[in-house]
Structures are given as structure tokens and as C-alpha cells.
Amino acid sequence: MADETYAGEFYCVKCREKREAEGNVVVSNGRRMAKAVCPECGTKLNRILGKA
């Protein structure tokens, strides 16, 4: 799989708000996940995208 990116909305657990961010797509346990960093507080963000 090529380096795939996802740009969209993530939920930041620390800020308790939805944030717009861009992250890389990885496969974990057969599921595609987007991983990014919160632009406000620097916390890691995850978003499950679906089956690989």
C-alpha cells in the first residue's frame, strides 16, 4: 500500500472537541486507521476508517 493520507475531522479526547487535521493511514488489526496530531494541544489523534 502506498503512503496514503487522510484529511478530515478527528475527535480530540483532551480538548473534547472535533479538530480538522491531516494524518497518515495505517492498517492495524485489519482496520484502516488515520493517525494525526491535534493542532491545538499536540495529543495523538486516531480515526477508524473501515476494513482494509
Reported as a single tens digit per residue, the pLDDT across 12-36 is 999 999 999 999 999 988 899 999 9
Domain extent listing, the chain: 5-51
Output the pLDDT for position 19: 95
CA angle 51, 34, 11 (to 5 degrees): 110
Sheet bearing 44-51, strands edge to edge:
5-12, 17-28, 31-37, 44-51
Output the pLDDT for position 2: 59
Please provide the CATH number assigned to the domain covering 5-51.
2.20.25
